[in-house]
Amino acid sequence: MAVKKVKTKDKHIKNLARIVESPRSILYHEEDLISYDCDGFTLHRHLPKAVVFPKDTEQVAKLVKYCDDNELPFLARGAGTGLSGGAVPLNGEVIISLVRMKRLLQVDLENRYAVVEPGFINLKLTNSISDKGYYYAPDPSSQSCCTIGGNVAENAGGAHCLKYGVTTNHILGLEVVLPNGEIIEIGKDGVPDRPGYDLLGILTGSEGTLGIVTKITVRILKTPEAKQTVLAYFDEVTDGSQAVSDIISKGIVPAALEMMDKTAIEAVESASFPVGHPRDIEALLLIEVDGISAGIGEQIEQIMEVCNNRNVREVKVAQDEEERGRWWANRKTGFGAMGTISPDYLVQDGVIPRSKLPEVLNRINQISDKYGLRIANIFHAGDGNLHPLVLFDARNPGETESALKAGTECLQVCADVGGSITGEHGVGIEKKEEMRFVFSDDEIMAQTDVREVFNQKSLLNAGKLFPTPGRCVEVKIETKEAASV
Amino acid sequence: MAVKKVKTKDKHIKNLARIVESPRSILYHEEDLISYDCDGFTLHRHLPKAVVFPKDTEQVAKLVKYCDDNELPFLARGAGTGLSGGAVPLNGEVIISLVRMKRLLQVDLENRYAVVEPGFINLKLTNSISDKGYYYAPDPSSQSCCTIGGNVAENAGGAHCLKYGVTTNHILGLEVVLPNGEIIEIGKDGVPDRPGYDLLGILTGSEGTLGIVTKITVRILKTPEAKQTVLAYFDEVTDGSQAVSDIISKGIVPAALEMMDKTAIEAVESASFPVGHPRDIEALLLIEVDGISAGIGEQIEQIMEVCNNRNVREVKVAQDEEERGRWWANRKTGFGAMGTISPDYLVQDGVIPRSKLPEVLNRINQISDKYGLRIANIFHAGDGNLHPLVLFDARNPGETESALKAGTECLQVCADVGGSITGEHGVGIEKKEEMRFVFSDDEIMAQTDVREVFNQKSLLNAGKLFPTPGRCVEVKIETKEAASV
């Protein structure tokens, strides 16, 4: 029996290996564990006790039960692309990796849903059904490698969430292993309405603190008949921001409405997919409209008119799918492209009321001046979801701390104008203290009380999401680590 | 001081009157309480201890605190139009009526939200902003009198929820008094993304069992530029059902897609707004498309083509707003119109996958035959939300019991095909036992555990929503009461 080969005296490792039925389904040597010491948020690292790779729900439930019985901290991990540290094993957790549970279990086109295992890659779903004219809407930038299970945990967004909503709007059912090892199923067969409390809602976006999702029923949509994409260049950020509001005010709901500022344009034009954006403009908008062919032309005309009324320097429509693809590839390199203009960067993720866009961008400029650090802005303007990217060089003493402070101040600005501290990246470790910007103690307590119902022993992913002194593990910022991904 | 005039020896009544600062803000004589012994679900009645009418959040919090301190059961009530008994004071509750908290507090057109008090009437919101080109989407049939607070409690739906979603999709923020009197605020200023657990989601649709909502921020939408409405008559129910699937398969998402069967047509044509539907057809579809003018015509053509391919007897487009209005008035009399063809009726509210429509309608026919009771079907076909209306005469011995059994069997059929027991009317008292059709004991326990976090002493609206023996008050069916409303 293969299990004999597990070479360790640690009884827990042996028992965990027995549950996953193979020594190839568990990692426990330090050199193997290093890849699992952080996720896409690299400022805090910690080695897990072990990483196990269950193959089905039953194994997940047994692993969880074992951890619960033996008081071993544990957490779930998908592709590890999260940007707020949700999968970092702060307490030396046993990591339950779901990457081997990656099957597409069912597709029901007539009732518009699909059932997947948590390790199934986001983009693969659209690729599996696009020939039949369907797609899965949430499209985080990491969609070619992130898992739908991770998307559920973080309630992931994406460029096209303005019209179609974030992950929570597309989840119809979940199978979940609770922290005590019980398996529950919420919603099934694509039926959207459920009586009782909205457990589906509370589990989606709970950042791996309430249970481990082992099966997911998602809504699939008909591929829009037509798409058109507009690119508009502005000499003034305010004009660009105002155009965003004007478009929405017209009653047009674009599928995507993205904005980049001058620094961001410099980066994407220096990276892998330059498309020739002028380097001297202050802002560009990338606007996509989709739907029935007949309505599209008129919406595009209205958008062009809005841009013209707001002193646009140039506005153009993608001439074909190839040009549209190039514009999007250019936009989607955004974060990574920062590497071309800065050794390190810290991405923030605030949300503001759309009408506050000019004011907030102005205040972010002031923060940039204050710390002497460039801040690039590349974001989902249509839904007010900002991504200020603080550029810094970790090799310069004190610069990482300054970048972190600048990032926090950006979030404070978002909160001050009535916004929030995360749109789609989650709170994780990164922003747990900043939760105080938007929630009172009572409001945080109402949430941690809910957590305790599910997660009584605090073994599952402790120290995340909430600033609860005495309950959470305190996190020290290890400034020696680079922040770039 | 007015409070002196409260004429009772009951110290609690006196103290409650003191909190609401006026004897005109409390009812406690039996003759005044009778109107509050049930809501739109009339099969169970019970007198409350008192009804209090607070004027603001502070008074609500004080009332709740008083009830909590003195272990008095209590519940919140809006307009009392609920159809599942959520506002029935099963345990002689103190009813906290929110009808005097009915202000429209704020409208922010630029950021597309409005803030209302819970007693604000649903339709008044659209009426307050329609001249500026905006509206509030959820449109339950009771929208001219139901309150938005009640809509939040029940997660109310309506004919136009196919495209626009139910209440939970339109709630951006809530101020809530928790059962211990604490006030929390979740989401604000119309910012849609919130970190932490989705408390907004769990409170919406919690049927008054987790807290009392005292302020609501709702999303408002731009009034669609154009609307067109189609009426299609079918000789076979199966053809009508199949047309529903075909329309959705085309990628068209109608704003509404309603179906009525022969019995329902007989009723609405006998009621206040007849429009001349043929009495000998087996099904009609009422289909509404909205959006940008340019796209509408093509969608209407596709819908007509689908109907023609499914052997439609006649299909026509409303020629003007007046005709469209008449068709909708005819549809919206639906439930009430049953009174013209039956002394009593029981409305059910099941949800099924759209593809199961022909099968389920067939099985409902069999249930009708089994009990010798006519069942009319009038429902939101597009989202598979059925409303079988069991017609009966409470004066005939045993017929009420038969109707209740037939209704329950209809729900069992919905659950059997992978559906659910309520789409928009809630569980309340009516369907708490039927929760077992869709949830295991563990799944129910996961929910009642959440309830206990909020509602530790079980003073708030106990005995509703969940079939928890030993915790809930057992409800006897009082068959002497009529079921008509």
Q: What is the pLDDT confidence band of residue A62, given thresholds at 50, 70 and 90?
A: very high
Compare CB distances from B186 to A108, A112, A443 and report the shortest one's residue. A443
Give the residue from chain B lying closest to A84, CA to CA: B195
pLDDT of the residue at A288: 96
Chain B nearest CA to A406, separation (Å): 20
pLDDT at B346 over 70: yes
Q: Which of A292, A422, A443, A451 to mutate to test the interface with B (most CBs of B within 10 A)?
A: A292
Chain A nearest CA to B419, separation (Å): 6
- CA atoms of A64 and A460, how far apart (whole Å): 9
Give the residue from chain A lying closest to B293, CA to CA: A295
Q: Are the beta carbons of B423 and A166 separated by less than 8 Å?
A: no
Q: Which of A115, A198, A200, A435 to mutate to test the interface with B (most CBs of B within 10 A)?
A: A198
Q: What is the pLDDT confidence band of residue A3, given thresholds at 50, 70 and 90?
A: very low
Q: Are the beta carbons of A446 and B199 separated by less than 8 Å?
A: yes
pLDDT at B484 over 60: no
- CA atoms of B321 and A108, how far apart (whole Å): 38
Q: Are the beta carbons of B202 and A206 separated by less than 8 Å?
A: no
Q: What is the pLDDT confidence band of residue A479, given thresholds at 50, 70 and 90?
A: very low
Find the mean pLDDT for residues B284-288.
Answer: 97
Compare CB distances from A191 to B293, B419, B443 and report the shortest one's residue. B419
Q: Are the beta carbons of A438 and B186 separated by less than 8 Å?
A: no
Residue A145 structure tokens = 């490698």
pLDDT at B187 over 90: no
Q: Which of B171, B178, B198, B246 to mutate to test the interface with A (most CBs of A within 10 A)?
A: B198
- Provide the mean pLDDT of chain A: 90
Q: pLDDT tens digit string along B421-453? A: 988 899 999 999 999 998 888 889 889 999 998
Q: DSSP letter for B259, please.
A: E
pLDDT of the residue at B334: 85
Compare CB distances from A195 to B222, B427, B454 and report the shortest one's residue. B427
Find the mean pLDDT for residues A303-328.
Answer: 96
Q: Are the beta carbons of A195 and B422 separated by less than 8 Å?
A: yes
Q: Which of A168, A188, A193 to mutate to test the interface with B (most CBs of B within 10 A)?
A: A193
pLDDT of the residue at A483: 34
pLDDT above 90: percentage of residues in chain A: 73
Q: pLDDT tens digit string along A128-178? A: 999 999 999 999 988 999 999 999 999 998 888 888 889 998 999 999 999
Q: What is the ipTM of this complex?
A: 0.74
Fold of A104-222: 3.30.465
Give the residue from chain A lying closest to B465, CA to CA: A196
Which CATH code for domain B2-97?
3.30.43.10
Q: Are the beta carbons of B294 and A293 separated by less than 8 Å?
A: no
Same fold, A2-97 and A342-426: no
Q: What is the pLDDT confidence band of residue B473, given thresholds at 50, 70 and 90?
A: very low
Which stretches within B354-458 are classed as H helix?
Answer: 357-371, 399-416, 441-454
Fold of A342-426: Alpha-Beta Plaits (3.30.70)
Q: Are the beta carbons of B195 and A431 separated by less than 8 Å?
A: yes
Q: Are the beta carbons of A251 and B222 separated by less than 8 Å?
A: yes
CB A377 within 8 A of CB A389: yes
Q: Are the beta carbons of B466 and A196 separated by less than 8 Å?
A: yes
Q: Are the beta carbons of B222 and A294 separated by less than 8 Å?
A: no
**Which three-class secondary structure state does DSSP give residue A227?**
strand
**How would you classify the pairing of strands B94-97 and B104-108?**
unpaired
Q: pLDDT tens digit string along A178-222? A: 999 999 988 766 565 578 888 888 999 999 999 999 999 999 998
pLDDT of the residue at B50: 97
CA dihedral A210, A211, A213, A216 (to 10 degrees): -50
Q: Spell out the SS3 assignment of B58-81.
A: HHHHHHHHHHHHHCCCEEEECCCC
Q: Which of B111, B191, B199, B206 to mutate to test the interface with A (most CBs of A within 10 A)?
A: B191
Chain A nearest CA to B125, separation (Å): 18
CA dihedral B444, B445, B451, B457 (to 10 degrees): 130
Chain A nearest CA to B134, separation (Å): 9
Q: pLDDT tens digit string along A328-381? A: 999 988 888 999 999 999 999 999 988 899 899 999 999 999 999 999 999 899
Which CATH code for domain B224-340?
3.30.70.2190
- CA atoms of B176 and B200, how far apart (whole Å): 10
Q: DSSP letter for A410, please.
A: H
Chain B nearest CA to A419, separation (Å): 6
The residue to which tokens 């929760």 are assigned? B435
Closest CA to A96 of A140, A50, A142: A50
Chain B nearest CA to A484, separation (Å): 24
pLDDT at A120 over 50: yes
- CA atoms of A42 and A269, how far apart (whole Å): 26
pLDDT at A4 over 70: no
- CA atoms of B464 and B457, how far apart (whole Å): 15
**Which three-class secondary structure state does DSSP give residue A451?**
helix
Query: Residues of B with CB below 8 A from A134's CB?
Result: none
Q: Where are the beta strands (DSSP E) in B82-148?
A: 94-97, 104-108, 113-116, 134-135
Query: Residues of A with CB below 8 A from B439's CB?
Result: 196
Q: pLDDT tens digit string along B79-132? A: 999 999 999 999 999 999 999 999 999 999 888 899 999 999 999 999 999 999
pLDDT of the residue at B191: 63
- Provide the mean pLDDT of chain B: 90
Spans of all domains in chain B: 2-97, 104-222, 224-340, 342-426
Q: Are the beta carbons of B294 and A297 separated by less than 8 Å?
A: yes
Find the mean pLDDT for residues A291-301.
Answer: 86
Query: Residues of B with CB below 8 A from A449's CB?
Result: 453
Q: What is the pLDDT confidence band of residue A6, given thresholds at 50, 70 and 90?
A: confident
CB A78 within 8 A of CB A149: yes
Rg (CA), chain A: 23
Query: Residues of A with CB below 8 A from B110's CB?
Result: 245, 249, 353-355
CB pairs under 8 A between A and B: 223
Query: Residues of A with CB below 8 A from B294's CB?
Result: 294-295, 297-298
Find the mean pLDDT for residues A297-307.
Answer: 94
Chain B nearest CA to A425, separation (Å): 9
pLDDT of the residue at A44: 85
- CA atoms of B156 and A314, how far apart (whole Å): 46
Q: pLDDT tens digit string along B375-403? A: 999 989 988 899 999 999 999 999 999 99
Closest CA to A278 of A266, A294, A290, A260: A266
Find the mean pLDDT for residues A267-281.
Answer: 94
Furthest-apart CA atoms within chain B: distance in Å: 74
pLDDT of the residue at B472: 37
Query: Residues of A with CB below 8 A from B166's CB?
Result: 193
Q: pLDDT tens digit string along B32-89? A: 999 999 998 888 899 999 999 999 999 999 999 999 999 999 999 999 999 999 999 9
**A322-326, A379-383, A400-404: least confidently modelled range:** A379-383
Q: Are the beta carbons of B251 and A419 separated by less than 8 Å?
A: no
Chain A nearest CA to B438, separation (Å): 9
Chain B nearest CA to A338, separation (Å): 26
